[in-house]
Chains A and B, each alone.
Chain A
Amino acid sequence: MQTKIKFPSKRLLLLIFLAGVSVILLESFEIPKGTSFLFDLLTLISGFLITALFFIPSAIIKSRTDLDFMSFAHIKTPNAIIFISAFYCMYFVYTAEYFLIKYCDMFSNKLNSEANIFAVALVLLAVCIYAAYKGTNAIARCSIFIFVFSFIVFVLIFAGNISNLEINATNFSFRGQKTDFINNTSFFLTPAFAAVIFAVLSGYTKNFRPRQIVYSIIITTIIFALILFFTTFALGEYAFAQDYRCFLLSKSTHFGDLDGFDSLYLSISVLTVFLVISLILTCICKSTGKSSSLPIILVFSIIIFVLFICANYFNAVKELLINHYLFNILTFVSAVVIPTFYLIAFRRRLNG
């Protein structure tokens, strides 16, 4: 179902932005209590600066060869491609699992504790299979609507919390430990998985400009910073003891007597997770050398679901699958180490 038509690369960057939003919505903001807003902001900026670095190898490959990393690797090392494919498939299964578990946790914790999370995961995966079967281009087009909806929701959430703001001057002092800095930066590195998606899917795009990545990261950083700002000054101390701060913000949103905006949070969280998992399934297809193949999508979806069941029965598996340190290391290897190795090894034949 994947069409041969290339779509503008800014739309892929829109997808990357929405992937970042999904992290904002699903993460529980493990920010230590003793830190100040300025300190958190600094860690946020450092996290996103490193995230930007993750894009460099694949951006170089794309701008010099107009190929995505997988196609580049296939051309340069046709004999080793099976190992590269296997590694990237494993990485994407891990990433899909990471988001599926995070989403189902959030769903059962905040929205409906009585819901059968296996059914939730199964239905979500079924919809993602359909989207992945329709191809990257269809998902990218769909992202325009999700972006518009997310934009409206964020404007509503921020506007509806302005009246709750209590600016505390002490939060503008610089306060925090070195270990907090590393923890926070590690947390803010989570959206860097989008660099791997970019590396694999950039071959479907045209008119690539490196500044598009910069804009995308800056916009995601601003959204993160605003969430941080509002949770710090609108929710205050209450937020530190709670998970899912974006959910809390949506709950505290009100315009006079009009409230109940957590339904909007529910909507954008499912929309962004749907986008991310669909994209990951298309990335798996691309990693296996197929543009969009239903049997491959189905096989890997079954693996993801089986892993999800295992994670829910064995806590050790779950801890491993949602460990964001491990996630960041795998992302680093997939987005930076392997593409950089190819760049160095084939630097003379980059345009060949």
Chain B
Amino acid sequence: MYKSLTKNLDTLKNMFASSADFTVREMTLSALDSINAAIITIEGMCSKDVIALSVINPLLAYSFTETSSDKILDEIKSSVLTSSEIVEFNTFDEAVMFSTSGFALLAVDGTDRMLAIGVQGFSFRSVSEPESEVVQRGSREGFTEPLRINMTLIRRRIKSPDLVFETITVGSESQTQLMLCYLQKSVSPQILKKIRNRLNDCNLETVLASGYLTEYLEDKGSKSIFSGVGISERPDTVCGKLTEGRVAILIDGTPAVIILPHLFVEEFQSVDDYSNRPYYAAFIRILKYLSFFIAVYLPGLYTAFAQFHPEYFPTGLLIKTSESLSATPLPVTLEVVIITFVYEIMREAGLRIPKPLGHAVSIVGALVIGESAVSAGFISSSTLMVVATAAICSYVTSPLYPPITVLRFLFVIVGGIFGLWGIVLASCVVIINMCAKTSLGVPYMSSLAPFSLKSMRDVFIRADWKSLSRRTIKVQKFPETEDSYADKN
């Protein structure tokens, strides 16, 4: 930086290309010789009231006894400003970083240093319950967009000095701040190192959401339609994962927090499981696994049985189904594909259109497309029922919705072409793919394959808290993870 205030201001103005939100409040400080100073802010990022009360008023009211600009700056820092967060810096890069983060910059003529004063006051969404992870019992708090608030939500739940937040900046243009969050004593150093390396290798220009980073965090050579990166908007879920040795990545500007490593069985766990009684939690878990299988396989099996193996239907059902199918003009495979496709279109439309119009879409979907198509004989009622049942089941494990949708189509097409034989072979491909997948060196199918009896207390069932609390199994201690292997050898 320069010693001249004018030069510094000109440089910053040039850097921000005289942007409309770049504001400079120039002033003269009362000292033996009047000294020029300026407060630089980005409009909307700072609280004007706080700037006026804790920066401008004290500065203008104070009579400086020192004559040197450097000493005046020290005096301002130690005796004048009432703000709790004041950082000194001397580069233009830091000036850009602080100003875009909501700090007010104080520049004094005659010194090549500046002060960044914490007066952040931008508007943001308040802490509210995340709509995608609603629970019956438990906290109603969800993450919000500002990073610092999300950090607070975690810190409030884990009041331990073990909890570490580590800052990383990604995105050459967006300069998005990330916070690696972990428990020092629980986390595996190898896992942490891998995450740091992968984030440092990220060469994106902008990072606006968690989805931008997930592909960089996946293990190389384990391509799959299932994700090895977990996402949650709930602080209680993230805290639970942290205690198991996982790492959370908080991203400034998004409420979706990345959790690593992420396993298949975690998709079936929810906060409610740990609030409910163990027997009911176990029942819900089994229900979720069954729903997953129904959502993936039911339309495909229906297609395969109806087209190739009608003898597998019980007699009563066979009569009803064949009556229903024979009355429609399309082959059963095409019928299932079309109905599933139409359902996906309606779902997507329902998500995107304004809420008041949602009811209209429901009516059109249910009455016009559903009932009218059946009564007109375009589609069979049994097919509609199968697709509807699969669709409802897919929402039971909502984080798995994307892979479920793709697999459902795959099995319908394979079942329609090759019958049950094709479905079994396609299942082999999917299972092999899932078994070969790893998340930061931890097998994605851990607890099931490789099988771990100890972990079974929280897979198909949820054991009671007395046995769960006996020992928390750290994620790096799962069988056949790269870290546990390295430890033993």
The segment from A39-47, A70-78, A83-91, A257-265 that touches chain B is A257-265
Query: Quick check: B428 and A5 within 8 Å, CB to CB?
Result: no
Question: Looking across the interface, which residue of chain A has its beta carbon closest to that of B450?
Answer: A141
Query: Quick check: B432 and A142 within 8 Å, CB to CB?
Result: yes
A283 CB–B CB distance under 8 Å? no
Query: Quick check: A138 and B480 within 8 Å, CB to CB?
Result: no
Query: Quick check: A260 and B312 within 8 Å, CB to CB?
Result: yes
Interface residues of B in 421-462 (CB under 8 A from A): 421-422, 424-425, 428-429, 431-433, 435-436, 438, 443, 445, 448-451
The segment from A20-28, A30-38, A124-132 that touches chain B is A124-132
B418 CB–A CB distance under 8 Å? yes
Interface residues of B in 304-353 (CB under 8 A from A): 308-309, 311-312, 314-315
Contacts A1-B436, A142-B432, A263-B312 known; A7 to B418 CB distance under 8 Å?
no
Query: Quick check: B450 and A263 within 8 Å, CB to CB?
Result: no
Q: In whole angstroms, how far apart are the Cα atoms of A6 and B486 in the complex? A: 11
Binary flags per residue of B229-248, CB closer than 8 Å to A gives 1, else 0: 00000000000000000000
Query: Quick check: B424 and A267 within 8 Å, CB to CB?
Result: yes
Q: In whole angstroms, how far apart are the Cα atoms of A3 and B442 in the complex? A: 12
Q: In whole angstroms, how far apart are the Cα atoms of A321 and B228 in the complex? A: 44
Contact of B435 (CB < 8 Å), options: A112, A120, A142: A142
Query: Quick check: B428 and A142 within 8 Å, CB to CB?
Result: yes
Query: Quick check: A263 and B418 within 8 Å, CB to CB?
Result: no
Contact of B449 (CB < 8 Å), options: A5, A123, A142: A142
Binary flags per residue of B280-321, CB closer than 8 Å to A gives 1, else 0: 000000000000000000000000000011011011000000
Query: Quick check: B429 and A142 within 8 Å, CB to CB?
Result: no
Q: Which of B312, B428, B448 has the most CB of A within 10 A?
A: B428
User: Chain B residues near A7 (CB, 8 Å)?
Assistant: 450, 480
A139 CB–B CB distance under 8 Å? yes
B354 CB–A CB distance under 8 Å? no
Query: Shortest Cβ distance from B321 into chain A, in angstroms?
Result: 14
Interface residues of A in 244-271 (CB under 8 A from B): 257-258, 260, 263, 266-267, 270-271
Binary flags per residue of B471-489, CB closer than 8 Å to A gives 1, else 0: 0000000011110010000
Contacts A130-B429, A142-B431, A145-B431 known; A5 to B436 CB distance under 8 Å?
no
Question: Looking across the interface, which residue of chain A has its beta carbon closest to that of B441?
Answer: A5
User: Chain A residues near B480 (CB, 8 Å)?
Assistant: 5, 7, 137
User: Chain A residues near B438 (CB, 8 Å)?
Assistant: 3
User: Chain B residues near A120 (CB, 8 Å)?
Assistant: 421
Query: Quick check: A127 and B428 within 8 Å, CB to CB?
Result: yes
Dominant secondary structure of chain A at its interface with chain B = helix
B114 CB–A CB distance under 8 Å? no
Query: Quick check: A130 and B432 within 8 Å, CB to CB?
Result: yes
B116 CB–A CB distance under 8 Å? no
B356 CB–A CB distance under 8 Å? no
Q: How large is the interface on B (under 10, 10 to 19, 20 to 34, 35 or more residues)?
A: 20 to 34
Q: How large is the interface on A (under 10, 10 to 19, 20 to 34, 35 or more residues)?
A: 20 to 34
Q: In whole angstroms, how far apart are the Cα atoms of A135 and B420 in the complex? A: 26
User: Chain B residues near A112 (CB, 8 Å)?
Assistant: 308, 419
Q: In whole angstroms, how far apart are the Cα atoms of A123 and B438 in the complex? A: 27
B221 CB–A CB distance under 8 Å? yes
Query: Quick check: A124 and B432 within 8 Å, CB to CB?
Result: no
Question: Looking across the interface, which residue of chain B has its beta carbon closest to that of A261?
Answer: B312
User: Chain B residues near A124 (CB, 8 Å)?
Assistant: 425
Contact of A123 (CB < 8 Å), options: B314, B418, B445, B450: B418
Q: Which of B315, B431, B433, B438 has the most CB of A within 10 A?
A: B431
Q: In whole angstroms, how far apart are the Cα atoms of A257 and B448 in the complex? A: 34
Query: Quick check: B432 and A131 within 8 Å, CB to CB?
Result: yes
Q: In whole angstroms, how far apart are the Cα atoms of A273 and B355 in the complex? A: 52
Q: In whole angstroms, how far apart are the Cα atoms of A231 and B351 in the complex? A: 57
A144 CB–B CB distance under 8 Å? yes
A310 CB–B CB distance under 8 Å? no
Interface residues of A in 103-161 (CB under 8 A from B): 107, 111-112, 120, 123-124, 127, 130-131, 134-135, 137-139, 141-142, 144-145
User: Chain B residues near A6 (CB, 8 Å)?
Assistant: 485
User: Chain B residues near A1 (CB, 8 Å)?
Assistant: 221, 436
Query: Quick check: B428 and A131 within 8 Å, CB to CB?
Result: yes
Query: Shortest Cβ distance from A351 into chain B, in angstroms?
Result: 19
Q: In whole angstroms, how far apart are the Cα atoms of A127 and B443 in the complex? A: 21
User: Chain B residues near A131 (CB, 8 Å)?
Assistant: 428-429, 432
Q: In whole angstroms, how far apart are the Cα atoms of A185 and B391 in the complex? A: 53
Query: Quick check: A138 and B432 within 8 Å, CB to CB?
Result: yes
Q: In whole angstroms, how far apart are the Cα atoms of A127 and B425 in the complex? A: 7
Q: In whole angstroms, how far apart are the Cα atoms of A139 and B481 in the complex? A: 17
Contact of A257 (CB < 8 Å), options: B309, B314, B479: B314
Contact of A258 (CB < 8 Å), options: B314, B418, B433, B436: B314
User: Chain B residues near A3 (CB, 8 Å)?
Assistant: 438
Contacts A5-B485, A263-B420 known; A123 to B425 CB distance under 8 Å?
yes
Query: Quick check: A274 and B312 within 8 Å, CB to CB?
Result: no
Query: Shortest Cβ distance from B315 into chain A, in angstroms?
Result: 8
Query: Shortest Cβ distance from A23 into chain B, in angstroms?
Result: 19
Query: Shortest Cβ distance from B57 into chain A, in angstroms?
Result: 65
Q: In whole angstroms, how far apart are the Cα atoms of A135 and B431 in the complex? A: 13
Contacts A1-B221, A7-B450 known; A271 to B424 CB distance under 8 Å?
yes
Query: Shortest Cβ distance from A196 into chain B, in angstroms?
Result: 23
Q: Which of B314, B424, B445, B479 has the most CB of A within 10 A?
A: B424
User: Chain A residues near B436 (CB, 8 Å)?
Assistant: 1, 134-135, 137-138, 141
User: Chain B residues near A107 (CB, 8 Å)?
Assistant: 421
Query: Quick check: A274 and B428 within 8 Å, CB to CB?
Result: yes
Question: Looking across the interface, which residue of chain A has its beta carbon closest to that of B222?
Answer: A1
Q: In whole angstroms, how far apart are the Cα atoms of A260 and B317 in the complex? A: 13
Interface residues of B in 410-424 (CB under 8 A from A): 418-422, 424
Contact of B432 (CB < 8 Å), options: A139, A257, A266: A139
Query: Quick check: B450 and A270 within 8 Å, CB to CB?
Result: no
Q: Which of A107, A120, A270, A271 has the most CB of B within 10 A?
A: A270
Could you list 7 A-B pairs, sorted by A, with CB under 8 Å?
A: A7-B480, A134-B436, A138-B432, A141-B443, A145-B431, A260-B311, A263-B420
* Residues of B near any A CB (own CB < 8 A): 221, 308-309, 311-312, 314-315, 418-422, 424-425, 428-429, 431-433, 435-436, 438, 443, 445, 448-451, 479-482, 485
What are the 8 closest A-B residue pairs judged by CB atoms, nearest first? A138-B436, A141-B435, A141-B449, A134-B436, A144-B449, A260-B312, A138-B435, A131-B432
Other CB < 8 Å A-B pairs besides A124-B425, A257-B315, A266-B424, 10 of them?
A112-B419, A123-B422, A127-B425, A130-B429, A139-B432, A141-B443, A141-B445, A142-B435, A263-B309, A270-B428
* Residues of A near any B CB (own CB < 8 A): 1, 3, 5-8, 11, 107, 111-112, 120, 123-124, 127, 130-131, 134-135, 137-139, 141-142, 144-145, 257-258, 260, 263, 266-267, 270-271, 274
